[in-house]
């Protein structure tokens, strides 16, 4: 009676349920993990802090935990990849936790996924030297804080859709991610759509859907 | 010297250049349209008011103009459609101009595209009765003002990615589209990414990319 | 001289005084609790942290404390319920503290009250399966963070008024509850009115007033 | 195909459909009005400007139009009133259009409703002299711009729930109604819930639901 | 070379220098206090935390420290009062620290000053019972959080100017004092001017200036 | 029944009633003016546009109208001045309408009042050359848009209290007066209190209260 | 007495006075222009609409008016250029009015200045093809709306300082220039400083100061 | 693979790479410092907390660390200064950390730089007594919190460009630096451009570029 998992989701949508741990007690996370184990359904636990992780691993000892991404996945191994490739690009090193969350989510949802880090626009040659890799992807996630300018630059160079993720990294007038969020929504290059601040999960999920194998 | 069109865009990205008319004088729109005609490259003119339209049609008399969508397309006929289907869904009648812009852009970028209007969550049976149509689409654009709740509801029902477009429709605390924008960014159903307020062009473009034929 | 309780409130309005503990020292809470005990008037202490609780229980040892709801009630037992039923609905598990505060306040103000948790719109079947329970209530409190979309969906299904409570749960662009607050104020289904972010007390109070027995 | 009226609403909820005219063309309003006439279902048209009104009256010549409230109602006469009384209170003369919309909506939804105007807190004796009228109402709508302080003052004096409506009236730092909206959400007197800025329709609807006859 | 006190201020303006401690290290506060002692000029230290206080008292052992107000004054005794009376009114107990800072500042700047606490508008009889005290003051400081409605109510009842101080007390949509700040700026009763959130110092200073003895 | 003038105000507070015309129809302004004439009570009409003025003058033909200040006063002549002097200072020529409103209101409320225009901080010598005039005033109103820096500079030079009025003059990031409003609230010179954006009436009223003759 | 021009400015700072016309009446602009003519001091009139221009030209018939930049300069010819070159770069055609204002101001303040238009990041090759021109400038002004990403890209490529000017061009979530303003303040490439939205004057002035001839 | 330093920056722009430590783990800072040491390229580490510093010094033991500025520089000694002088001015003692960061960055980028502290506008004589020092600088950085008024006052007195840095110092309505940021963007004195809140690094960098020796 503290949670009513959406067990129908995989049948309905083809993607596993996910449990957002922030705002839940460790105890609640443990109760939910136990229910997941009983049911046997693939599940992701996002934004898990140390307390959540301990409680989840107590119930699902073989779950895979990634500390940088704050993600717990069960079962621990992603399914065999299908569909196109997802490429995750991070503007700076500080964007790594969010980028890694997107990367792992895309893999656990069944895609091949790669990661490129620290190729922000202050040194443009870094992203320009990766045009081939960018153009080989079916969906690109671009993670950036501060000015949030990288997704627009990438979108101007490729045919694939770009999912932009603003991060809460930056000086005061970044307003905890508001500045890059607005930049991305206002991209003057078309082909950019935006998810919530620091929401690597949402970006990885969306990219996995875009790169899904085409039916028939 | 007032404009430097991105003529390389089609070669680089596979999608035509677009000219955002708001903030340009009618005269400038006419000069650009003449350059387009000379070059012979497929081009869309978005947010065109009466003055822009007149100047564009003077230079490109056979261009197609849609008054509701405020769009001018040249050449007038979309290419033969390829790839998957794009479905555009509008929560209310007031969202029609933006929805129609998305619809036409998706078609002019080479997709089959359909439109469903006035199926907001106040009367939930309206969207629930269209599950089959929703599930047949490869990309779904959902346009909504006020509470902006429809994209999340749709995303919870389908496997395809949802591109959400907030509109500037609503009472004062909608703050010209800010309220639905935030709702969409915070969708508790994954599978939603967001474009700018009233940006039907961006949504149609993104959906066309998602539903593009898979190479190979 | 640090507080001047509104002892006249019950006579004037029929509902007990409440003491908002946040921003008060534990010592002040204790002084007020002692005054309450002397006067013998039913009182609620909201947003009480561990220090407040200790000081209040020292003065009113038989008071009832609910840790999840951060509420202390004295006398400990609610009055015999009258009027209609209040139903409290929480979109997610993370909304439980606020929902529980609303539930207990409604009971301590004299109503029958029930609670339903984790029925957000990402899995719509969860709320749709409870239509009978929703339609039996005279007032419904809906608590939600993130997109805040649930109150509008519920309001579209029932005749009773919906009191919506935004919570501060969610990613960055939820802006500590601003996003669901705006969603709820912009509900496209009429029959929704909104209280402050995380204000379970205010929602429970309002619902108790709405479901009060009709005089005469 | 431009609108899909929620004809099921009255059966489902007991209240008529409403058409929000802002953002619709006059022509669209006329098409909808014709559909309403054919169907024969009680309907309200809100926020109707001169163009909308003309088109609606062409289709529904006996509809009732109130210019101050910008409301068109069909059929023109409200139903026989049932349930408790709704009292609408406006802080200033400038709040009259919104207050009058609330008043008429409450009547067309089946309640007895009265109006009191220009009793803001700058001259407190004005509202204090009406305590009897305030205490006789089952639901009170309080409309105020600027500081938005009146709803809290009223809520502190009565047992009935107060629905607060901020208006966009005031100097620059009222920010088109944001200031009174926040005041009302932060009312230190419990018993206040808030609807959108200038949303007299929503307030009147909510008040009508609260004052509805209790079944059984 | 870390500070250049405005020693000329008393000569120029008739009021002592004040040192805002927040954002300074304890060590810097100590260095400044030593300079003050050497110079022998009356000085107030505002927003002093435990570290600041310790360092200041080491340099000025006879300084007066008020923990609730977070104020250190040197010399410890206020001057003999002149001019009119300042009355400080706090809406709730939680507003006490700010109200007390205003009270003490007014006294250290040479006025007679009194304090009334917990007379918010939720129980209007509390403020109405103090009309005589309100009308005897030459300047009134009103401190309030949440809805910030009290200053406007007071201003409507008296001839003296009201200095309003918003506090950062309240639920989420108080936005750390923004809500009462806007309320106060929008007061529909004239005779209210506003200082910064939680700025008891500024309010006490302003009130002391207003109530200063009239020259000649 | 459209207005309930606060006729008791002069008796209660010593200052006349004022009618805020914005948001009222010309017809309503005329009805109110007629009531004023009948009652014979001194009244100010603020923010009056051409339509309001015509209607007011029809009812009160001898009223005094100032087009720059948008003010109508009746009776046309201010009372004989008492108390101290009010000085109104405008940072730029564009602030003149607001400054003039403050000037006239102070006079109609019974004070001697003077005006200094275009002495902003970009050319500091302009304000520094007026130190004597500044120091002779009992209350100073400083009106400024853009950076809003002038009130703090003035407050640092004088003993009298400064009432600061932000205006909606400036480039985009002035956000219609928000920027100078915040500057003024954050004045690092104490002795500044702030009224609403463009609210010359409120500033003139407050200054008149401060400079009122001291009783006894 | 409506204006007090800062005639001392040229002596003090080496740059001419400027008159911001917005918010002034045409009549006031004319009075000021007459004073300018009498005094014979070089002056710029910014943000001049048709009415202002007419009044200024009546007083200063040989003044130079540029309609796109909304600028009037007197005397009409800029001084002989000294110092380094200023380069003004506009991201899109819609940014032309602001860019042109910066260009002309830099020239009238004594610099050589050039303009490049429509080289936004959506087609990156456009700006990359101008590296030589960028690197020859001593100060670069970059004007951009929407995502505001161009200044950061330019700053990453050159040694000269970049003055960034956000424009109010773009879809709803550009919030009248707020989005590019924040982007520019958050530039992840150092070497960017920002002026107000649409403030071409400020940018041209700043660039002229930076590129001024080095004394000695 | 966690970082891709912009080693090309010095060649391309003439200024060293900088590493923003906030949001990076200490371990990452150490890895980057080791790479810097290997490469041998001048590098600044900004916003370094104790953990970062320890890790950086482990890899670069002779690096220079300034605790107030939170800066680590390697190699420890700045290059021989060239070009003009940079003057850094701080309004208050609380602004010292940011001012000192600007000072050191300007020196490590090759300029002569000086610092003046606590000369805010509340005591105007303090800044006016330094006119000679101000007028000798080729670029001036002005750091201020609260009202942020000092940069505009300075700009009105000198010919050199002013780089303004808002700080997050102040009462609630300073909104963590938003208030001085807006003040500075709205400076009514031209010659002010603004960097991010608390961004001493950006200001020092920009000033160093402005005061760079003129080529040729
Ligand atoms: N003021 C209002 N507040 C909330 N919902 C409204 C309001 N006015 C109309 N509506 C609802 O919004 C829907 C109208 O949107 P539309 O389909 O565009 O006409 C109807 O279902 C109405 O019930
Ligand atoms: N959540 C709440 N929302 C609105 N008012 C509240 C809330 N909690 C307490 N109050 C009221 O605020 C007042 C408490 O403020 P205080 O006097 O500081 O204890 C009481 O009169 C309560 O009725
Ligand atoms: N709705 C839109 N959203 C994003 N970019 C757009 C939109 N419309 C046009 N654009 C792009 O903005 C650029 C037009 O800006 P401009 O150079 O001023 O015409 C083109 O490169 C378009 O691809
Ligand atoms: N609460 C306050 N509001 C406004 N100014 C203040 C406040 N507290 C101190 N000050 C002023 O701010 C200056 C202190 O800043 P600082 O130089 O950093 O100590 C002094 O000149 C005080 O007069
Ligand atoms: Mg990097
Ligand atoms: Mg509809
Ligand atoms: Mg859940
Ligand atoms: Mg009134
Ligand atoms: Mg209280
Ligand atoms: Mg001027
Ligand atoms: Mg372009
Ligand atoms: Mg100081």
H66 three-state secondary structure: strand
Domain-located, residue E1: no
Is residue A116 within a helix (H) or strand (E), and if so which, with residue range? strand A112-117
Domain count, chain C: 2
Which among H125, D51, D186, B158 has a CA at the least distance from the CA of E5? H125
* pLDDT tens by residue, A140-173: 999 999 999 999 999 999 999 999 999 999 999 9
Domain-located, residue C89: yes
Set of chain D residues whose Cβ sits within 8 Å of the Cβ of C195: 185, 192-194
Say if residue E96 is in the same domain as residue E162. yes
- Backbone angles phi and psi of D199, in degrees to 5: -90, 70
DSSP state for residue D115 in the 8-state scheme: E
Which among G105, C85, B193, H147 has a CA at the least distance from the CA of A206? B193
* Token reading at B64: 């197609």
User: D interface toward B at CB cutoff 8 Å?
Assistant: 1-6, 8-9, 20, 22-24, 28, 32, 166, 168, 176-178, 181, 196-199, 202
User: Residues with Cβ < 8 Å from A67, sequence gap 6 or more?
Assistant: none
* pLDDT tens by residue, B126-145: 999 999 999 999 999 999 99
Say if residue C62 is in the same domain as residue C98. no
CA B49 – CA B26 distance, rounded (Å): 9
- Backbone angles phi and psi of A97, in degrees to 5: -55, -45
pLDDT at B1: 80
Is residue E66 within a helix (H) or strand (E), and if so which, with residue range? strand E64-66
Q: Is the CB of E93 under 6 A from ligand 2?
A: yes
**The residue to which tokens 């519920």 are assigned:** C154
Say if residue D109 is in the same domain as residue D16. no
Which among H51, H63, H42 has a CA at the least distance from the CA of H21? H51
Q: Is it the case that residue D30 has pLDDT exceeding 70?
A: yes
CA G99 – CA G117 distance, rounded (Å): 8
Domain-located, residue H4: no
pLDDT at B216: 67
For B23, other C-beta atoms within 10 Å of its C-beta total 18
Confidence of residue D216 (pLDDT cuts 50, 70, 90): low
Report the Cα B58 to chain-centroid distance in Å.
25
Is residue B144 within a helix (H) or strand (E), and if so which, with residue range? strand B139-144
> Distance from the CA of A205 to the center of ligand 1, in angstroms?
33
CA diameter of chain D: 54
Is residue D18 within a helix (H) or strand (E), and if so which, with residue range? strand D17-20
CA G192 – CA A136 distance, rounded (Å): 34
Which among H41, H144, H19, H14 has a CA at the least distance from the CA of H88? H144
Set of chain E residues whose Cβ sits within 8 Å of the Cβ of F15: 159, 190-191
Task: Order across the sheet with G17-20: list the strands.
Answer: G17-20, G43-46, G71-74, G64-66
CA H99 – CA H167 distance, rounded (Å): 10
Domain-located, residue H198: yes
pLDDT at C1: 81
> Would you say H95 and H145 are in contact if contact means Cβ atoms under 8 Å apart?
yes
SS (H, E, C) A136-186: HCCEEEEEECCCCCHHHHHHCCCCCCEEEEECCCCCHHHHHHHHHHHHHHC
Domain edge (last residue) among D55, D74, D93: D74
From H94, H121, H122, H143, the mutation candidate for ligand 4 (largest count of ligand atoms within 8 A of CB) is H122
Mean pLDDT of chain E: 96
CA atoms within 13 A on the CB side of G81: 15
H68 three-state secondary structure: coil
Domain-located, residue G215: no
Say if residue E67 is in the same domain as residue E161. no
Q: Could you tell me which chain D residue has the CA closest to the CA of F5?
A: D118
User: A interface toward H at CB cutoff 8 Å?
Assistant: 92-94, 96, 117-119, 122-123, 125-126, 145, 169-174
Compute the nearest-CA separation of D165 from chain C (Å).
10
Which ligand gives the minimal distance to the CA of C5?
Answer: 9
pLDDT at H7: 81
CA D141 – CA C193 distance, rounded (Å): 12
Say if residue E181 is in the same domain as residue E93. yes
**The residue to which tokens 């006894």 are assigned:** F216
Domain-located, residue D2: no
Q: Is the CB of E94 under 6 A from ligand 2?
A: yes
Say if residue B63 is in the same domain as residue B91. no
User: F interface toward E at CB cutoff 8 Å?
Assistant: 12-15, 18, 84, 138, 156-161, 163, 181, 185-186, 190-196, 201-203, 205-206, 209-210, 212, 214
Domain edge (last residue) among B54, B74, B94: B74
- Cβ burial of A77 (10 Å; 0-12, 13-18, 19+) is exposed
pLDDT at E196: 98
CA B122 – CA D12 distance, rounded (Å): 11
Q: Could you tell me which chain E residue has the CA closest to the CA of D183?
A: E147
Is residue C67 within a helix (H) or strand (E), and if so which, with residue range? none
CA G183 – CA G202 distance, rounded (Å): 18
Q: Which domain CATH number covers A130?
A: 3.40.50.1970
pLDDT at D1: 80
* pLDDT tens by residue, E149-180: 999 999 999 999 999 999 999 999 999 999 99
Q: What is the average pLDDT across H72-100? A: 98
Say if residue F115 is in the same domain as residue F14. no
Mean pLDDT of chain F: 96
> Would you say H148 and H164 are in contact if contact means Cβ atoms under 8 Å apart?
yes
Say if residue B171 is in the same domain as residue B112. yes
Instruction: Tell me which residue has its CA closest to atom 22 in ligand 4.
Output: E18
Say if residue F118 is in the same domain as residue F67. no
DSSP state for residue G174 in the 8-state scheme: G
- Chains C, E: CB contacts within 8 A come to 55
DSSP state for residue H145 in the 8-state scheme: -
CA C20 – CA B1 distance, rounded (Å): 65
Domain edge (last residue) among H39, H55, H74: H74
CA E61 – CA E54 distance, rounded (Å): 9
Q: Is it the case that residue A121 has pLDDT exceeding 80?
A: yes
Omega within 30 of 0 (cis) for the link into A171: no
User: Residues with Cβ < 8 Å from C50, sequence gap 6 or more?
Assistant: none
Q: Is the CB of H2 under 6 A from ligand 4?
A: no
Q: Could you tell me which chain H residue has the CA closest to the CA of G210?
A: H210
User: Residues with Cβ < 8 Å from H85, sequence gap 6 or more?
Assistant: H111, H112, H113, H114, H136, H137, H138, H211
CA E184 – CA D127 distance, rounded (Å): 20
Q: What is the average pLDDT across H140-164? A: 98
Q: What is the average pLDDT across C11-28? A: 95
Q: What is the average pLDDT across H117-123? A: 96
pLDDT at E175: 97
From G122, G123, G124, G145, the mutation candidate for ligand 3 (largest count of ligand atoms within 8 A of CB) is G122
Q: Is it the case that residue E216 has pLDDT exceeding 80?
A: no
* Token reading at B161: 């990615």
Instruction: Tell me which residue has its CA closest to atom 18 in ligand 1.
Output: B92
Residue D92 to residues D153, D169, F196, Cα–Cα distance (Å)? 15, 10, 18
Domain that holds residue A26: 9-74
> Would you say H198 and H144 are in contact if contact means Cβ atoms under 8 Å apart?
no
Domain-located, residue C2: no
Residue G171 to residues A188, B105, C33, E169, Cα–Cα distance (Å)? 10, 17, 55, 36
Which among A143, A90, A91, A137 has a CA at the least distance from the CA of A111? A137
Lowest-pLDDT choice from C154-163, D1-10, G61-70, H123-132: D1-10
* Token reading at F145: 């848009």
Confidence of residue A74 (pLDDT cuts 50, 70, 90): very high
Domain-located, residue A3: no
- Cβ burial of A62 (10 Å; 0-12, 13-18, 19+) is exposed
Q: What is the average pLDDT across G38-44? A: 95
CA G4 – CA F200 distance, rounded (Å): 21
CA angle B95, B100, B106 (to 5 degrees): 135
H190 three-state secondary structure: coil
Report the Cα C120 to chain-centroid distance in Å.
19
pLDDT at G6: 87
User: Which residues on adjacent β-strands are paired with residue A20?
Assistant: A46
Q: Could you tell me which chain C residue has the CA closest to the CA of D206?
A: C191
Q: Is it the case that residue A114 has pLDDT exceeding 90?
A: yes
- Cβ burial of H110 (10 Å; 0-12, 13-18, 19+) is buried
SS (H, E, C) C50-89: HHHHHHHHHHCCCCEEECCCCEEEECCCCCCCCCCEEEEE
CA A149 – CA D92 distance, rounded (Å): 48
- N-term to C-term CA, chain C: 41
Say if residue H116 is in the same domain as residue H64. no
* Token reading at A53: 């992780």
Which among A109, A92, A82, A116 has a CA at the least distance from the CA of A213? A82
Say if residue B129 is in the same domain as residue B201. yes
Cβ distance of F188 and H124 shorter than 8 Å: no
Pairing of strands D71-74, D64-66: antiparallel
CA gyration radius for chain B? 17
For G98, other C-beta atoms within 10 Å of its C-beta total 31
* pLDDT tens by residue, B16-39: 999 999 999 999 999 999 999 999
Say if residue G202 is in the same domain as residue G171. yes
Averages of pLDDT over each 10 residues, chain F, 216 residues: 87 94 96 96 97 98 98 98 98 97 98 97 96 98 98 98 98 97 97 98 98 89
pLDDT at H80: 98
Q: Is the CB of E46 under 6 A from ligand 4?
A: yes
């Amino acid at each position: 009676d503290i949670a009513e998992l959406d067990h129908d989701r995989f049948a309905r949508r083809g993607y596993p349920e996910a449990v957002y741990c922030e705002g839940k007690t460790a105890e609640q996370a443990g109760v939910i993990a136990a229910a997941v184990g009983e049911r046997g359904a693939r599940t992701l636990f996002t934004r898990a802090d140390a307390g959540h992780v301990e409680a989840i691993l107590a119930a699902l000892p073989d779950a895979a935990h990634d500390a940088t991404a704050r993600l717990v996945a069960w079962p621990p191994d992603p399914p065999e990849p299908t569909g196109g490739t997802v490429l995750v690009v991070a503007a700076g090193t500080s964007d790594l936790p969010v980028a890694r969350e997107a990367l792992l989510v895309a893999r656990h949802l069944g895609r091949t996924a790669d990661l490129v880090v620290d190729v922000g626009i202050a040194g443009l040659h870094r992203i320009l030297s990766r045009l081939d890799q960018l153009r080989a992807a079916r969906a690109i996630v671009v993670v950036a804080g501060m000015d949030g300018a990288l997704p627009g630059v990438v979108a101007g160079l490729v045919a694939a859709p770009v999912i932009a993720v603003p991060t809460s990294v930056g000086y005061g007038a970044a307003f905890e991610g508001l500045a890059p969020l607005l930049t991305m929504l206002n991209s003057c290059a078309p082909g950019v759509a935006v998810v919530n601040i620091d929401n690597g999960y949402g970006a990885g999920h969306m990219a996995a859907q875009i790169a899904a194998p085409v039916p028939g």
